[in-house]
Chain A
């Protein structure tokens, strides 16, 4: 008999998914251990949501196997789904019920009865929904609906929780609150799988990340290792109205509104950049040396094309 403590939280083997001519997933292999905080990154169309939907049983793979806590999502779907809580990306809700009713129904679908009501109330309280427990789902703000969706994924106490873009479109305060809550879940022993466009989010939360591009995993490592693979730093220069000298253009990563970011492979390039600016008689208003982040790793792996299509103000 398999020891439940030794099985991976999620095991994905050679998963392919085709939608007609579109080959959305091209042989994904991935193992996520119990207790991990795992990030799944990639631009739109990379296949993140397709993969999540296969985990959740909302899509059937064309080929390959997926197991949640050792339970195959097709052959042992009931045990697999008992082990999984999914927070969908879209703000979906049932307009007929209030928050508490909806959560109790959701727990009931998983075979949980009134003995579970105390846990439902605890989830409501932990997510700051106590004041809204008797409010109809229709009348909640977007942020509150997002909290209710997270609560719905937790009512049956699943060991593995998938959050598909949980902080998309939420304000900074709520994002911080959700981050703290998700971290607490992880500290309590839940395995967390997070898909996100926000690289900052993955960097702050995830111990390990997989980067996807066009249905394939292009990088899979700990966040620290991925960051260390790019030893370079970035030099951010504020030049006001002046343009960057042409000699520095090969180092240019991005630039707008008089702020230019140069990618450095060696620190002595700082002196080179400053001397070129002096030669051009350009006054440096401000200068910052910035560590490479996941965005840099992502851009180097996924390439300029994907990044330029999806990169918007620090998000992918």
Chain B
């Protein structure tokens, strides 16, 4: 990273340093932040594919095991992007070390970019690790790699941004855990990770369409199979709209100094 350090112009060095610090922070505890979610996803794959392989076929010509993998990748990617920004912020607020960043000339936009970029990298790293391990067990095609990349990017950015909001708002770990357990977890599990929404009754299909996680996972899966529950373009628009809305809120909170600068 020394070469990058030298190439970065002084006005972006602050942003880059905060980004690098956030990367190092999660990499120092990579067993917890990367290896653990990869293992959890592989256990899901092992158990669900073993139980349901011969009972469920969601898309024509796509084994259930293969169908499951993009959903599991996206679920872990989203959860870890959220966990990165939120846990870092809450921890540094509680420990008081956030002051070291607040005392610097970093602007609220630079602060946002650095935390967001680190969240995206962690999400990608976890997602890529699951993919690389999973393709040892399952023959997984890639039909539209650009859609895969686009939804991975938008999804991790959206959850990274949501993590920033949750991290700023939460004053203790308990509140943070409530976000994870009562918002992120249900929305990911009920978004079509393990099933197609066409397998649901009409009422629950309608409910699922209010869940932004559904669009991220459905669009991501389209990149692998060229098949999805709804058009990837519609998913793209919905996810982008949610991202812009949350980014606006996060930037507004940071600009006002909400819960950071009284």
Closest-CB distance, A84 to chain B (whole angstroms): 8
Q: What is the bound-complex CA distance between A111 and B106, given in angstroms?
A: 9
Given the known interface contacts A82-B105, A109-B101, A113-B13, the answer about A96 and B24 at a Cβ–Cβ threshold of 8 Å is yes
B13–A108 contact, CB under 8 A? yes
Are A81 and B16 in contact, CB atoms less than 8 angstroms apart? no
Q: Is A57 an interface residue (CB 8 A)?
A: yes
One digit per residue, 1 when the CB lies within 8 angstroms of any chain B CB and 0 when it does not, for chain A 55-95 equals: 01111100000000000000001110110101010101111
Complex partner residue of A93 from B16, B18, B97, B103, CB under 8 angstroms: B97
Please indicate the chain A residues that have their CB under 8 angstroms from the CB of B209 in the complex: none
Interface size on B, residues (CB 8 A): 33
Give Cα A113 to B17, complex, Å. 9
Partner of A77, one of B25, B100, B105: B105
| Inter-subunit contact A58/B103 (CB<8 Å) | yes
Contacts A93-B97, A108-B17, A109-B101; is A57 near B10 (CB within 8 Å)?
Answer: no
Q: A229 an interface residue at 8 Å Cβ cutoff?
A: no
Closest chain A residue to B17, Cβ basis:
A108
When the two chains form their complex, are residues B96 and A112 in contact, meaning their CB atoms are under 8 A apart?
A: no
Nearest first, the 4 closest Cβ-Cβ pairs linking A and B are A108-B17, A92-B96, A78-B105, A109-B104
Chain B residue numbers with a CB within 8 Å of A92 are 95-97, 99-100
Question: Which candidate, B1-9, B128-136, B141-149, B170-178, is the interface stretch facing chain A?
Answer: B1-9
Q: Which residues of B contact A59 (CB under 8 A)?
A: 261-262
Whole-angstrom CA separation of A67 from B85 in the bound complex: 33
Please measure, in the bound complex, the distance between the C-alpha atom of A108 and the C-alpha atom of B24, giving whole angstroms.
Answer: 14
How far is B6's CA from A93's CA once the two chains are assembled, in angstroms? 27
Check: B14 CB closer than 8 A to any chain A CB: yes
Partner of B106, one of A84, A109, A114: A109
The interface size bin for chain A is: 20 to 34
* Contact bitstring B89-121, A, C-beta under 8 A = 1, else 0: 000100111011111111100000000000000
Tell me, yes or no, whether A119 is within 8 Å of chain B by CB.
no
Contacts of B6 in A (CB 8 A): 113-114
Residue in B8, B28, B257 whose CB lies within 8 Å of A113: B8
Assess whether B11 is interfacial by the CB under 8 Å rule. Answer: yes
What distance in Å separates the Cβ of A51 from its nearest Cβ neighbour in chain B?
A: 14
Q: Return chain B residues, CB-CB under 8 Å to A88.
A: 96, 99
Q: Are A81 and B262 in contact, with the CB atoms below 8 A?
A: no
Instruction: Verify if B21 is at the interface (C-beta below 8 Å from A).
Output: yes
B17 cross-chain contacts in A, Cβ below 8 A = 105, 108-109
From known contacts A92-B96, A95-B95, infer whether A57 and B102 are also in contact, taking CB-CB under 8 Å: yes
CA distance A109 to B103 in the complex (A): 9
Q: How far is the CB of B108 from chain A (nearest CB, A)?
A: 10
CB distance from A64 to the nearest CB of B (A): 16
Chain A residue nearest in CB terms to B104: A109
Contact flag A60-B8 (CB < 8 Å), given A77-B105, A90-B96, A110-B105: no
Cross-chain contact B106 with A60 (CB below 8 angstroms): no
Q: Using known A-B contacts A92-B99, A108-B16, A109-B101, determine if residue A60 contacts B10 with beta carbons closer than 8 Å.
A: no
Query: Which among A84, A94, A111 is the interface contact of B97 at CB below 8 angstroms?
Result: A94
The answer on a CB contact under 8 Å between A108 and B14 is yes
Q: What is the CB-to-nearest-CB distance from B105 to chain A, in angstroms, rounded to a whole number? A: 4
Q: Is the CB of B261 within 8 A of A112?
A: no
A94 CA / B11 CA spacing, docked (Å): 24
Chain A residues within an 8 Å CB radius of B5? 113-114
Residues on A with beta carbons closer than 8 Å to the beta carbon of B100: 92, 94, 106, 109, 152
Which of A86, A93, A111: most chain B CB closer than 10 A?
A: A111
Q: Is the CB of A58 within 8 A of B99?
A: yes
Residue of A60, A78, A86, A106 touching B257 (CB-CB under 8 A): A60
The interface residues of chain B lying within 8 Å CB-to-CB of A179 are none
Taking CB atoms, residues of chain B closer than 8 Å to A94 are 25, 92, 95, 97, 100
| Bound complex: CA A114 to CA B7 (Å) | 11
Q: Would you list 30 pairs from A and B whose C-beta atoms are within 8 A, ordered by A residue?
A: A19-B262, A57-B103, A57-B261, A58-B103, A59-B261, A60-B257, A81-B104, A92-B96, A92-B99, A93-B95, A94-B100, A95-B95, A106-B100, A108-B14, A108-B20, A108-B21, A109-B14, A109-B17, A109-B101, A109-B104, A109-B106, A110-B14, A110-B104, A110-B105, A111-B13, A111-B14, A111-B105, A112-B10, A113-B5, A152-B100
- Find out whether the CB atom of A97 lies under 8 angstroms from the CB atom of B24: yes
Q: Are B103 and A81 in contact, with the CB atoms below 8 A?
A: yes
Bound-state CA distance A160–B29 (Å) is 37
